[in-house]
């Protein structure tokens, strides 16, 4: 699967992710700027917040209760497309994803 990360300044980077890995894991493994992931993927920090490109939002599973609560404390404004990138796995139906990195995470 391909994941494209778009920075606030518009810079784009597309990475090939391992099937089953998360958008957060792929970002951390490749030093993508702006994904902090303080809690390491436990849906406990909201520093892996991303805005999923509207074109792709319907392909993703719904926000869980825990994710919903954490998103409420994200540093950047919450939008309808806000997700925790540690809760987004790629592979299967999600063979391509574009996410926008917020301007701040802490």
Measured torsion, CA atoms of residues 81, 44, 101, 28, in degrees rounded to the nearest 10? -130
* Residue 68: CB minimum distance to ligand FES, A: 12
Q: According to the binding rule CB under 6 A, does residue 90 interact with ligand FES?
A: no
Q: According to the binding rule CB under 6 A, does residue 101 interact with ligand FES?
A: no
Q: According to the binding rule CB under 6 A, does residue 70 interact with ligand FES?
A: yes
Q: Which residues fall within 8 angstroms of residue 54, CB to CB, at 6 or more apart?
A: 81
Token pair 């954490």 in the structure block, residue: 70
- Return the residue of 6, 15, 39, 57 that touches ligand FES, per CB under 6 A: 39
Q: According to the binding rule CB under 6 A, does residue 48 interact with ligand FES?
A: yes
Contact 47, 85 (CB under 8 A): no
Residue nearest to ligand FES (CB): 86
């Amino acid at each position: 699967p391909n994941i494209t990360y778009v920075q606030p300044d518009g810079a784009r980077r597309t990475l090939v992710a391992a099937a089953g890995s998360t958008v957060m894991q792929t970002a951390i493994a490749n030093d993508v700027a702006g994904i902090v992931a303080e809690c390491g993927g436990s849906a406990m920090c909201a520093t892996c917040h991303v805005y999923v490109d509207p074109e792709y939002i319907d392909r993703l599973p719904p926000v869980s209760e825990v994710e919903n609560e954490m998103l409420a404390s994200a540093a950047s404004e919450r939008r309808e497309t806000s997700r925790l990138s540690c809760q987004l796995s790629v592979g299967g139906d999600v063979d391509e994803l574009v996410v926008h990195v917020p301007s701040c995470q802490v």
